[in-house]
Amino acid sequence: MTRKKTSADKGLDFGILPSLAGYQLRLAQIAIFRDFAAALGEFDVTPGLFGVIVIIDANPGLKQSELARAAHLDRSTVVSVIDNLERRRLVERRPAENDRRSNALVLTPDGIALLKKLKRRVGEHEKRLVEHLSEEERVTLVTLLQKIFPEQR
Amino acid sequence: MTRKKTSADKGLDFGILPSLAGYQLRLAQIAIFRDFAAALGEFDVTPGLFGVIVIIDANPGLKQSELARAAHLDRSTVVSVIDNLERRRLVERRPAENDRRSNALVLTPDGIALLKKLKRRVGEHEKRLVEHLSEEERVTLVTLLQKIFPEQR
DNA sequence: TATTGTTATACTCTATAACTATA
DNA sequence: TATAGTTATAGAGTATAACAATA
């Protein structure tokens, strides 16, 4: 055990990559996405979709364009996302009160019920994510990530 | 200034999302990808492609299937990635020495020259990434990210 | 039998541009 | 004029399955 453990198998050299925050973020992202898919794939919900459902739940009646900004998506992308969720009877488009151009988005009872299950699964997923971190380290990680893009909350 | 600053504009509620490491990682990833594209878009190089080029540079002669494992890609995906880089005369497929099934991947002189420019740009990009972090915080961040998936280096 | 690279194919996520209806 | 939602379309990135050549 004298050679530094590199990755995978064959002792490949990753050059400058491991020192780059952007690369480590990317690796973490890839692994998270896979664990998330394994944990919630059964419900056909990706991290992005989960975020959309949480945001609608927390802001019932919000408009599609508000959701677009919040979720970092184009308005046109939101159309297909909501089409998808509406087809699955998880979300409803209602006429907005003071603006006949807008839709007011709300979760259906099915959506609310699913969200409850999803939250439990995501909680377990998060626990796996940070299982090698102490509680203090976990808080530090979240804080540092927030600091990277303070404008984003 | 009494209300806690949330995101974007309209004071939307993000529910549990901000407390999730997975969500913060996702946000960081989105912003990083956009800054990367702005900084290197002129060269038509994404973070993934940059990683591939660095790995080939650091391991001249490696096989496509080794690259696949290192870059977390399927073998079939590597085919199109290398097709792309070879069309642009950045990478060459050479016959491997002891295995007539394999290709040995190497950067061309053009590839080496491009990589040099890319590294400079990526350096500037990284600097922007961590501009709100002290050097100590930067190191902590990278360390914590590595801890999330220790098996990955 | 197992592995390497390849092809054909398809799917997900996303964006751009142009349209309509409303404001 | 500007905004909200929509449509048509396209591109990037990825994977799965089946195949030929080679190990």
Residue A151 has a pLDDT of 60
Q: What is the DSSP letter of A12?
A: -
Which amino acid, one-letter code, is at A135?
E
Tokens 């999302």 sit at which residue? Answer: B17
A48, part of any domain: yes
Interface of B with A in 77-96 (CB under 8 A): none
Q: What is the DSSP letter of A62?
A: B
B9, part of any domain: no
Q: Which two tokens stand for residue A10?
A: 């064959």
Report residue A27: phi and psi, to 5°.
Answer: -60, -45
* CATH number of the domain encompassing residue B76: 1.10.10.10
A63, part of any domain: yes
A1, part of any domain: no
Q: What is the mean pLDDT of residues A119-132?
A: 92
Q: Which two tokens stand for residue A91?
A: 């979300």
Is residue A121 over pLDDT 80? yes
Between A19 and B59, where is the model more confident?
A: B59
Q: What is the DSSP letter of B95?
A: E
Residue A9 has a pLDDT of 45
Check CB contact under 8 Å for A25 and B29.
yes
Q: What is the DSSP letter of B63?
A: -
* A8-12, A79-83, B2-6: which is most confident: A79-83
Out of A66-70, A76-80, A87-91, B125-129, least confident range:
B125-129
In chain A, % of residues over pLDDT 90: 69
Could you tell me if A113 lies within 8 Å of chain B, comparing CB atoms?
no
The count of structural domains within chain A is 1
Mean pLDDT of chain A: 89
Q: Which two tokens stand for residue A51?
A: 């975020």
A130, part of any domain: yes
| Chain C bases having any atom below 7 Å from a protein CB | 3-8, 12-18, 21-23
Q: Which two tokens stand for residue A67?
A: 């959701």
Q: What is the mean pLDDT of residues A114-120?
A: 96
> What is the domain extent for residue A70?
44-145
Residue B3 has a pLDDT of 33
Residue nearest to nucleotide D20 (CA to C1'): B101
B73, part of any domain: yes
> Looking at the partner chain, which of A9, A55, A122 has a beta carbon nearest the beta carbon of B69?
A9
B60, part of any domain: yes
Q: What is the mean pLDDT of residues A43-63?
A: 96
Residue nearest to nucleotide D8 (CA to C1'): A76
In tens digits, what is the pLDDT along chain B, a chain of 153 residues?
A: 333 333 334 689 999 999 999 999 988 888 888 888 888 888 999 999 999 999 999 999 999 999 999 999 999 999 999 999 999 999 999 999 999 999 999 999 999 999 999 999 999 999 998 898 999 999 999 999 988 876 655
Is residue A1 over pLDDT 60? no
CA A19 and chain centroid, separation: 25
CA B79 and chain centroid, separation: 18
B131, part of any domain: yes
Residue B150 has a pLDDT of 62
Report residue A132: phi and psi, to 5°.
Answer: -95, 10
Check CB contact under 8 Å for B146 and A18.
yes
